[in-house]
């Protein structure tokens, strides 16, 4: 006799799926893809048989399904973004970002923005952490699971390593402004698409314009390649200072690409290279008079 699965079996199955990267629920109702399918139509005579369209879905879920549907709290039940074309999304982002004059207004503009489809699957907007008056800006890639839960960049294991790296050159979150290229988590931490990056870029450019940082630390290949318009991988770009040219600022901003702490967690031997980058960044802070400011802020 086959025993029905126990609660422990379900928990093990869930754990296995999470480890395999399936850590987002994207439908309101569970779908058993292993359930027996209806028998396939006989293949003989198919060419002559009239093609039948599948029945249209019911206008509202049947009663039983309605009662099974998890109750989604109103704050998470968002309509799907309505802007479909990439250029429409970018134009909307540019319009919204242009009207924002402060970091808080940029945050509100992002809340109103419907052009990035990642918003529909994310739990929270994740825009920045740190000091909005800092002259040092750190730009990563995209929020992960913990960032999505807390609505703050770099709070998971990679963020904790980033904090330790910053501490070695006298920095902490009171002295830097930390943000990402993307403001909503890509499901399962997949790489963002070029269209998703392009739709969020006006908000990053606006943050840079408002903050006018003196130095940029570009964490990971995606932010380095996007902001510096380069195609090489991060192992080529890291440790080499480059000028970031903002479309509306007269002066370029010195930017240093470095290895992403998530990569360093997987490849600890590369921490040596990251350390070299940090020393170079500390020298630049010194040159810009930012090292004293950081020390003074530390008391």
Structure tokens at 61: 């879920």
Give the C-alpha separation, 288 to 269, whole Å: 31
Cα atoms in the 13 Å half-sphere on the side-chain side of 222: 20
Phi and psi based region of residue 188 (left: phi greater than 0; alpha: psi -120 to 50; beta: remaining): left
Query: What is the three-class DSSP state of 137?
Result: strand
Of 144, 186, 192, 257, the residue at the interface with ligand URA (CB under 6 A) is 144
| Least distance in angstroms from the C-beta of 180 to ligand URA | 5
Counting residues that bind ligand URA (by CB under 6 A) gives: 14
List of residues 6+ apart from 130 with CB closer than 8 A:
138, 173, 174, 175, 176, 177, 178
Q: Is 180 in the site for ligand URA (CB under 6 A)?
A: yes
Q: For the chain, how many residues are written?
A: 299
Q: Is 158 in the site for ligand URA (CB under 6 A)?
A: yes
Of 116, 128, 130, 147, the residue at the interface with ligand URA (CB under 6 A) is 147
- Which residues are registered as beta bridge partners of 142? none
Q: Is 187 in the site for ligand URA (CB under 6 A)?
A: no
Residues 207-246 binding ligand URA (CB under 6 A) are: 220
Listed ranges 86-94, 141-149, 210-218, 270-278: which one lies at the site for ligand URA (CB under 6 A): 141-149
Q: Is 130 in the site for ligand URA (CB under 6 A)?
A: no
| Least distance in angstroms from the C-beta of 158 to ligand URA | 5
Give the C-alpha separation, 165 to 151, whole Å: 22
Cα atoms in the 13 Å half-sphere on the side-chain side of 251: 7
Of 115, 117, 130, 143, the residue at the interface with ligand URA (CB under 6 A) is 143
Q: Is 153 in the site for ligand URA (CB under 6 A)?
A: yes
| Least distance in angstroms from the C-beta of 165 to ligand URA | 13
Residues 258-277 binding ligand URA (CB under 6 A) are: 262
- Cβ pair 227, 216 in contact under 8 A: yes
Nearest to 281 by CA among 156, 135, 166: 166
Query: What is the three-class DSSP state of 242?
Result: strand
Listed ranges 35-43, 65-73, 154-162, 226-234: which one lies at the site for ligand URA (CB under 6 A): 154-162
Listed ranges 96-104, 107-115, 116-124, 155-163: which one lies at the site for ligand URA (CB under 6 A): 155-163
Structure tokens at 198: 């392009």
Cβ distance to ligand URA smaller for residue 81 or 151: 151
When CB distances to ligand URA are compared, the closest residue is 140
Cβ distance to ligand URA smaller for residue 30 or 194: 194
- Contact characters 11-30, ligand URA, x per CB under 6 A: --------------------
Cβ distance to ligand URA smaller for residue 156 or 187: 156
Q: Is 154 in the site for ligand URA (CB under 6 A)?
A: yes
Torsion of CA 96, 97, 103, 109, to 10 degrees: 20
Nearest to 143 by CA among 163, 120, 118: 118
Residues that bind ligand URA (CB under 6 A): 140-144, 147, 153-154, 156, 158-159, 180, 220, 262
């Amino acid at each position: 006799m086959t025993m029905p699965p126990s609660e422990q079996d379900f928990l093990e199955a869930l754990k296995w799926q999470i480890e395999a990267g399936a850590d987002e629920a994207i439908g309101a109702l569970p779908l058993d893809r292993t359930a027996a399918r209806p028998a396939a139509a006989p293949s003989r005579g198919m060419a002559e048989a009239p093609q039948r369209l599948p029945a249209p879905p019911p206008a509202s879920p049947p009663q039983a399904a309605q009662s099974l549907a998890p109750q989604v709290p109103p704050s998470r039940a968002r309509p799907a973004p309505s802007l479909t074309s990439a250029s429409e999304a970018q134009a909307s982002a540019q319009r919204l970002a242009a009207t924002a004059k402060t970091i808080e207004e940029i945050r509100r503009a992002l809340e109103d923005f419907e052009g990035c489809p990642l918003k529909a699957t994310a739990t929270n907007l994740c825009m920045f952490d740190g000091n909005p008056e800092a002259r040092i800006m750190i730009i990563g890639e995209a929020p992960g699971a913990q960032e999505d839960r807390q609505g703050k960049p770099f709070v998971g294991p990679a963020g904790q390593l980033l904090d330790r790296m910053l501490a070695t050159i006298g920095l902490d979150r009171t002295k830097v402004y930390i943000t990402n290229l993307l403001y909503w988590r890509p499901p399962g931490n997949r790489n963002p698409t070029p269209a998703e990056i392009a739709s969020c870029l006006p908000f990053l450019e606006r943050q840079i314009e408002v903050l006018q940082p003196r130095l940029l630390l570009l964490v990971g290949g995606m932010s380095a390649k996007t902001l510096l318009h380069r195609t090489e991988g991060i192992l080529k770009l890291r440790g080499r200072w480059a000028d970031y040219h903002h479309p509306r600022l007269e002066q370029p901003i010195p930017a240093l690409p470095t290895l992403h702490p998530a990569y360093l967690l997987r490849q600890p031997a590369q921490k040596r290279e990251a350390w070299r980058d940090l020393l170079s960044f500390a020298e630049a802070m010194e040159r810009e008079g930012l090292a004293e400011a950081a020390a003074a802020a530390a008391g």
